[in-house]
Structure 1
């Protein structure tokens, strides 16, 4: 079996799928907007070089590295995907990374709390969002800030991409009326909600154009099947954004 064939059986949330996305986003980012989005989120957050930050669902480490390099805190990245964490540890040795399911994060940090917990396009992929927020509250103190940068569901029902029947393919964007109740139940209080619907449309339009423009290079490196998955997935996301079924947001909360 050749190199391409071994990659073609993996989904976009596996290591090679994340590498494909990162190759289009000018860094090891799995979230929309890349550095612009990070800066925009931190406009609403505390910036302090010695604060302890947890990047929950950190992927391959680009976001954690960027934040730490800005002097906004000492970052620890956690992700369930072991190969991505190994990649992040090797590429960004000055940032602390651990492999863990978010619901088990207290086992990794039994005596630690964080001043700021961030999630960049990770929350939608958690099969059990309630348990995830409960677990994150266990590694927070009473003044901890929580920032979720995420897709939002703008439909009256569930948007066409919604899926919760397979943990490996979960797609549960934020519904404002639901997330407030979940936050309250898990020891968090919503502070602000900033819609980013126009920004998401711009970012995903630009990203999808890159997928089309770099087709041959992506197929050569990742295989036709993996490219096809990326094309289909991001075409669906962009379509849902353009038809106002899917949007984006910055959600800030604090521990209570």
Structure 2
């Protein structure tokens, strides 16, 4: 499996996407999540798994909220702090937020980051440590409909969660699921668009890294699109409120 969560590979994907985004749909996906989560001006917002920082920057500027990003990759955090100076980005583990001296949060969101966390209990317990009463969460992420078939492709780690896990496991940590927006068709369209961008810019992208890296990345995302089209993989926005 090509490791896409390294700083170098995130920068490569950002070049394809046309911005420092690590998730499908880019600005379109951000607007979709904002239409449901609705951060208000001056509310405190946590970007859990902030990557290169463009999503936090967009959400902060669109809403007037105070956004803090946390990511395990210190190099990505350095890039975010250097590039998006209106907001704060902190290196850290989203399952150990209580160790980071964060402010209390009104809103928490995660864009395609929790799929890589095998312990959802730890994630949502950690969110509890930094959440204000009545806080709300939006998790925009992959859904595994057929874990065995998905694992056989090797395009994503085996920690991709099922719809049932995303509904039930957060409840053990006091988070009530308040809504689910199915994004299966949107994810397929976004990845088809992503692959089209790769093909349109093949020569430039292959020169940025190497033809071998280009082909490895393209195969990974082509496999993901195939899984989306076959119903092995999907996408959803899960909404939660602190009970």
Q: TM-score, normalised by structure 2?
A: 0.93
Which residue in 1 is equivalent to 2:130?
Answer: 139
5+ residue gaps in structure 1?
A: 1-9, 164-168
Q: How far is the alpha carbon of 1:148 from its aligned partner?
A: 0.2
Tell whether the 8 Å contact from 1:218 to 1:227 is kept in structure 2 after alignment: yes
Aligned residue in 1 for 2:239: 252
Q: Which has the higher helix share?
A: 2
Alignment of 1:1-256 (within 5 A): 11-109=3-101, 112-155=103-146, 158-162=147-151, 170-256=157-243
Q: Tell me how far 1:212 sits from its aligned partner.
A: 2.0
Structure 1 position 171, deviation (Å): 4.3
Q: Number of aligned residue pairs: give it.
A: 240
Give distance in 2, aligned partners of 1:159 and 1:50. Answer: 44
RMSD: 1.8
Structure 2 vs 1, CA of residues 73 and 131 (structure 1 numbering), >3 Å: closer, same or farther?
same
CA drift of 1:160 comes to 2.8
CA contact (8 A) 1:126 1:170 kept: no
Q: What is the distance in 1 between the residues matched to 2:163 and 2:7?
A: 31
Residue 42 to residue 17, structure 1, CA distance change in 2 (3 Å): same
Distance 1:170 1:245 in 2: 14
Q: Distance in 2 between matches of 1:193 and 1:186?
A: 18
CA distance in 2, matches of 1:117, 1:20: 27
